[in-house]
């Protein structure tokens, strides 16, 4: 049996995340391009990222989301998203944040 791909919709955790993504069109076109590619990959397969073990999920995310996924972007950036399934058919990937490697290490207390 092969890997099952599940397509999904994408939503942003809040309006400020969506606005920050839109601003990247002007301020950081390269990162915008990488995020757009990641969003397309996630649309094709919601589980294309790396699942974070529940005990490692930072508290600020665990308060609202019961799962966390990490998608590696070029130049050591990370995209954080969660997956929810409001029904047995639909999957929604919720974009939570993206960050450089230093902020990622700080969030997960690697440093």
| Mean of pLDDT over the chain | 92
Residue 35 placed within a domain: yes
Distance between start and end Cα atoms, the chain: 40
Residue 87 placed within a domain: yes
Compute the average pLDDT of residues 47-66.
Answer: 94
b/e per residue, 52-69, with b = 16+ CB within 10 A? beeeebeeebeeebeebb
The partner residues of 70 in beta bridges, in order of sequence, read 50, 80
What pLDDT is stored for residue 105 in this prediction?
Answer: 92
pLDDT in tens, 67-93: 999 999 999 999 999 999 877 778 999
What pLDDT is stored for residue 68 in this prediction?
Answer: 97
* Residue range(s) defining the domain that contains residue 67: 9-107
Report the CATH number that the domain containing residue 81 is assigned in CATH. Answer: 3.30.2310
User: Is the pLDDT at 99 greater than 90, yes or no?
Assistant: yes
Residue 3 placed within a domain: no
The SS3 call for residue 36 is helix
Residue 2 placed within a domain: no
What is the pTM for the complete model shown? 0.89
Residue 22 placed within a domain: yes
Percent of the chain topping pLDDT 70: 93
Q: Which pLDDT band, with edges at 50, 70 and 90, does 3 fall under?
A: low
Distances from the Cα of 82 to the Cα of 9, 12, 31, 67, angstroms = 12, 10, 20, 6
Q: Which pLDDT band, with edges at 50, 70 and 90, does 111 fall under?
A: low
Separation of alpha carbons 27 and 84, rounded Å: 31
Residue 94 placed within a domain: yes
Domain count, the chain: 1
How large is the greatest C-alpha to C-alpha distance in the chain, in angstroms?
A: 45
Residue 4 placed within a domain: no
């Amino acid at each position: 049996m092969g890997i099952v791909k599940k397509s999904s919709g994408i939503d942003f955790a809040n309006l400020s995340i969506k606005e920050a993504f839109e601003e990247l069109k002007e301020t950081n076109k390269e990162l915008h391009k990488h995020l757009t590619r990641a969003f397309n990959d996630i649309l094709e397969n919601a589980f294309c990222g790396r699942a974070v073990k529940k005990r490692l999920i930072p508290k600020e995310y665990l308060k609202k989301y019961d799962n966390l996924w990490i998608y590696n972007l070029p130049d050591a950036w990370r995209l954080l998203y969660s997956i929810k399934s409001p029904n047995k058919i639909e999957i929604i990937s919720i974009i939570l944040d993206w960050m450089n490697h230093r902020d990622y290490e700080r969030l997960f207390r690697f440093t």
